[in-house]
Amino acid sequence: MIRYRFFVLSAAAVLAFSTAACAADYNSIRSDINEQLREVKTVSDQMKWQVEEANKRAEDLEKEVGSLRKQLAEVSRANEQKLAEMHAKIAAFDEKHLKLEAELDKKMQVILEEVTKENERILSKVEKGSKPKKEKAKKEPAKKSGDTDAAAPAPDETHEVGPGETLSKIARSYGMAVSDLMELNGITDANSVRVGQKLKVRK
């Protein structure tokens, strides 16, 4: 009987010890699990905070992008307006330039016409001034009515070609046609005369 009681007490003691040990292990495991849960919660909170910060940054970036797009649109409109104004100014300048060129052309044409007329007038005066005076023909005694001999033709005169003189100028100074002057002197090329050459002329 004593042995049975001892056995029962021993079993109870072992059971109590095992129970206490299990309880200790359970508490330890539970403590570890709670610690891990706290760590997970901490990490989760940190990740949640990081996600919230990332979302805020994304919103801020989106706002900045929207602002930049708006500024870019305004700059583009301003540039287009300036470009249109520049094109209008260039077109106006070209039109004004063309008008000025047309006016200058008209004025130059008028000036050239006036200069040409003045040169012709001066040349005419110079040619008239340089034209040699005709010698008065000597009066020959009148022939009698019975004289049948024809009057002898006036002898040809000579003209020495001076610097700058041409057949045309020489012919005009003697009242001759250029063709007659060339035929009288046997000239075939009007540009072949030279300074010092003597030409036959008729008055």
pTM for this entry = 0.31
Cα 89 from Cα 13, distance rounded (Å): 111
Q: Check whether 18 has a pLDDT greater than 60.
A: yes
DSSP-assigned letter for residue 178 = H
Do 200 and 185 contact (CB within 8 A), yes or no?
Answer: yes
**pLDDT per position as a tens digit, 93-128:** 888 887 888 888 778 777 877 777 777 677 766 766
**For 157-203, CATH number?**
3.10.350.10
